[in-house]
Amino acid sequence: MEYERELTVWKKSITPADVERENAFRKGQRMSGKSRRKNIADPNAPKKPTSAYFLFLQTIRTDPVMVKEIFGYETEPPKQSVMAAAKWRSMTEEEKEVSDLLELSTVI
């Protein structure tokens, strides 16, 4: 518990230069065969934007009408994922664009 708290504080306090320096050290250790530790990711780096497909999934799961239409009475998440992927593949490129996803619930 204490370790996790200290780790969280440390991650918030490091700078991109610290991350770069640590990763260079780890790379040197791996190259010499002394360590197998992988590089650390910068916790302060910006996150990647959500893809159009995941926005589509969010839209489906927040709209009860779309849930009923696409998933029917299926309740198992793996099968729901297959159904959602099939729906995504059947859509045209215009329907897949992020700007159209907000209007998707009225189109479907």
What is 33-66 written as a DSSP string? TS--PPPPP-TTSPPPPPPHHHHHHHHHHH-HHH
Q: Exposed/middle/buried for 61, CB within 10 Å: 0-12, 13-18, 19+?
A: middle
Same domain, residue pair 100 and 75: yes
For the entire predicted model, the pTM comes to 0.55
Same domain, residue pair 80 and 36: no
Same domain, residue pair 14 and 58: no
- Cα separation, 1 vs 43, whole angstroms: 20
Domain extent, residue 12, equals 1-45
- How many folded domains does the chain comprise? 2
| pLDDT tens string 39-93 | 888 877 888 888 888 888 888 888 888 888 888 888 888 898 899 999 899 888 8
